[in-house]
Each structure stands twice: as C-alpha cells, then as structure tokens.
Amino acid sequence: MTAIKLVAVSGGLGHPSRAAALAQAITAEIAASTAISAHAISVADLVSDLAGVVSAKDAPPSVSEAVKQIETADALVVTTPVYRGSYTGLFKHLFDLVHHEALIGTPVLLAATGGSDRHSLVIDHQLRPLFAFFQSLTLPVGVYANDSDFSNYEVSSDALKERIRLAVTRGIEHLKH
C-alpha cells in the first residue's frame, strides 16, 4: 500500500498550542491505522510571513511551500483554536491562498479547541462550510477539545482520546487509496 500524504494544518497562533497538540494526536491515530507520510503546518510558524500576503503568487517561500503542501495532500487534518466563535483569521487567510479547485474530493478531518464546550459547534458551523467551498470531503466525525482535555499542551483526557479514535475509525476508509 502506498503511504497517504497527510498534511496536518494547525491554526494556533502561538507555541505551545493545543490545536497543534490535537493535530499531532489525530495524526498519530491515523498512522496507527494506515500508512502515511505526514507533514505538519503550523500557522504560528507562518505569522510574520503570512500577515502581509495579498495573493499566492506574491507569497514568500515559507507560505508558498505551505500552500503547495496543502494543495498536493491526499488528505488533511485541520485544527484551529476557537477565536470569537470561529477559526483564527490567519488560519482562514492561509486557506484563502489555496487554489479553489485544489482540494476537490480531498478528505478532511476537522478539529477545534476551545475554552469550553460552548464552542463545539464551530466544526459544523464554521469549518464544514469553509471546506464545502473547496468541495472537499469532510469526514463524518469532527473532534472538539476543550482546555480541560489537555495537560501541559498534551492530550490527557481519555474521553478526547476516544473521540479521536472514533473520528479516525469512522473516516479511515475515506483516507485510504
């Protein structure tokens, strides 16, 4: 079996990041189920380069490489912290630079982190519409985590680990070639 090129995009704006930790945990669970070649993109690493970019053709090399990795992925894991009821602005800005036809049919596992469970609908009300625009295949189960699911920016909650397993189990067939 050929390894799936999995790109995990974390929309957190700082280090350390619960969104990045969640992306890493999901990626590890996928790797336990199928062969992958994983690449991680952290918006936090692109903040200074991404903020002034107006179009993909004018992007600095770090941003161009991130966009290329996203556009050529076999599958995506996307995570973002909830900021004012939605994803972070620079996370959205990164995806604004992705060609509108590059992700047609690409499986995407959606995930988010927030301060409380009140923000859990961000997956269905913000992330799914964004990837519907790209005509991506959003996987049936998203993963939401709140701050209490982490210890020292590592996934520590058994309930969250189970939600990650469920999302991967229900979506793995869409990830395999």
Distance from C-alpha of 14 to C-alpha of 52, rounded to nearest angstrom: 18
Taking only the tens place, the pLDDT of each residue in 88-138 is: 999 999 999 999 999 999 999 999 999 888 888 899 999 999 999 999 999
Residue 60 pLDDT more than 70? yes
Please report which helix (H) or strand (E) contains residue 37, including its range.
Answer: strand 36-42
What is the pLDDT at residue 163? 97
Residue-averaged pLDDT of the chain: 95
Kindly list the distances between the CA atom of residue 84 and the CA atoms of 113, 124, 168, in Å, as whole numbers in the listed order: 12, 15, 28
Where residue 51 falls among pLDDT bands split at 50, 70, 90?
confident
Query: Domain limits of the chain?
Result: 17-81+90-172
CATH code for the part of the protein at 17-81+90-172: 3.40.50.360
Distance from C-alpha of 13 to C-alpha of 32, rounded to nearest angstrom: 28
Do 153 and 123 contact (CB within 8 A), yes or no? no
Taking only the tens place, the pLDDT of each residue in 62-93 is: 999 999 999 999 999 999 999 888 999 999 99
Kindly state the percentage of the chain with pLDDT values over 70.
98
Q: Bridge partners of 154? A: 151
